[in-house]
Amino acid sequence: MAELDGETIYVDGGAPGDVVSLNMQGARPRIVAVHEPSPHRVEPPCPQAGQCGGCTLQHVSDGFVAEWKREQVISALAHRGIEAEVMPTLTVPPRSRRRATFAARRSNAGVVIGFHEKASSHIVDVSPCLLVKPALIEGLPALAQLLEPGLTRRGEARVSVTTSTNGLDVAVEMPGKTLDRALLSHLSEAGRAAGLARLTWNNEPVAEWRPPVIEFDGLACVPPAGGFLQAVAQAEDALRARVIQAVTSRKRVRRVVDLFSGCGAFTLPLARLAKVDAFDSDAAAIAALDKATRHLQGLKPIRADKRDLFRRPVFAMDLKDYDVAVIDPPRAGGLAQCEQLAKSKVPVVAGVSCNPATFARDARVLIDGGYRLGAVTPVDQFRWSPHVELVAVFERP
């Protein structure tokens, strides 16, 4: 953010209080010299920070980013006329991201795999990387070899890699390259040699050598290849702890509804405490949750249903038997579902969000429907990026 002739403008790599020279040619202003640095400026901890597009906020202190993210939440709420207690931001540690999507391309020098350079399609090598778990980076050389016969010089592959308890779970999307017999045979051999847990190519299974298990608070689940998973286990733990607390702080909770459940990061642990009905539009996530449920012991009954909650929210009259609702929609928010919750009598709604703007919009609907918003906790799951997640609990007085 910078001030130009009394106007505030946003500049990549700037920090409040910087005195800079800008190049105003091109689509976006660019800093060409920092004359007086902002007090929030720090030396970027990663040597690739100026080049790699994986992080955009390494040039400012962790404390500044945490407070800036908290202010994003406060201002999104204020925009909807909501005043709430917003707690300090919980920031995940470096090297904690368990899932990352890399770009891969064939070049004259072999396969390059990494993150895109800032504002460019050029791919930069990401080792060392302070963002993701070391196992992800350590696996890249073997992945580069494995990918080579499937890559073309023109196209670029998106390679989503997740660390599971049984090794890396890899989903490759390479437009224009189908999984023919020769490629399948190469990938099967190379994937086994690399010790992968699972490999898919353009959503087609290559092989599952070992189930790529993820534990949700100790409860095992095999998420669908490339399906939604909270990017950092510590962030998921923080979000889930608040959701669980919303249940345990009540005297008696018999039934919980988990709206936008994914494959059960909240559903499974909640089922230690109450019967849970889970809804999500992703058939593969619902199938994975269903399968996990059948293998786990000692949980209360779980019902998992595929349902598009934008078009067909769970109606207020069908919410009458629930003591707690959990809602964790995608970035677009869960407006249609919140309109039904606002008309319902569900005593407690635990809301998780990856977008403060749509959270605030939906919170307004719940508050107008009679809910009181408690403290909101921002969670910095995407360290060194502008994204912010949050969790909060609404109660009927």
Ligand X SMILES: C[S@@+](CC[C@H](N)C(=O)[O-])C[C@H]1O[C@@H](n2cnc3c(N)ncnc32)[C@H](O)[C@@H]1O
The yes or no reply on residue 281 touching ligand X (CB under 6 A) is yes
The yes or no reply on residue 260 touching ligand X (CB under 6 A) is yes
Q: 64: annotated binding-site residue?
A: no
The yes or no reply on residue 164 touching ligand X (CB under 6 A) is no
The yes or no reply on residue 231 touching ligand X (CB under 6 A) is no
Find the binding residues for ligand X in span 317-346 (CB under 6 A).
Answer: 328-330
The yes or no reply on residue 265 touching ligand X (CB under 6 A) is yes
Least distance between ligand X and beta carbon 279 (Å) = 6
Least distance between ligand X and beta carbon 241 (Å) = 13
The yes or no reply on residue 309 touching ligand X (CB under 6 A) is yes
Q: Among 55, 104, 271, 285, which residue interacts with ligand X (rule: CB under 6 A)? A: 285
Find the binding residues for ligand X in span 88-147 (CB under 6 A).
Answer: none
| 354 carries an active-site annotation | yes
Q: Among 162, 230, 344, 358, which residue interacts with ligand X (rule: CB under 6 A)? A: 230
Tell me the three-class secondary structure of the chain, residue by residue.
CEEECCEEECCCCCCCCCEEEEECCCCCCEEEEEEECCCCECCCCCCCCCCECCCCCCCECHHHHHHHHHHHHHHHHHHCCCCCCECCCEECCCCCECEEEEEEEEECCEEEEEEEECCCCCEEECCCCCCECHHHHHCHHHHHHHHHHHCCCCCCEEEEEEEECCEEEEEEECCCCCCCHHHHHHHHHHHHHCCCCEEEECCEEEEECCCCCEEECCEEECCCCCCCCCCEHHHHHHHHHHHHHHHHCCCCCCEEEEECCCCCCCHHHHCCCCEEEEEECCHHHHHHHHHHHHHCCCCCCEEEEECCCCCCCCCHHHHCCCCEEEECCCCCCCHHHHHHHHHCCCCEEEEEECCHHHHHHHHHHHHHCCCEEEEEEEEECCCCCCCCEEEEEEECC
The yes or no reply on residue 228 touching ligand X (CB under 6 A) is yes
Q: If binding means CB under 6 A, how many residues of this protein chain bind ligand X?
A: 18
Annotated binding-site positions for S-adenosyl-L-methionine: 230, 260, 280, 328
Residue numbers at the binding site for ligand X (CB under 6 A): 228, 230, 260-262, 265-266, 280-282, 285, 308-310, 328-330, 354
Catalytic residue annotation: 354
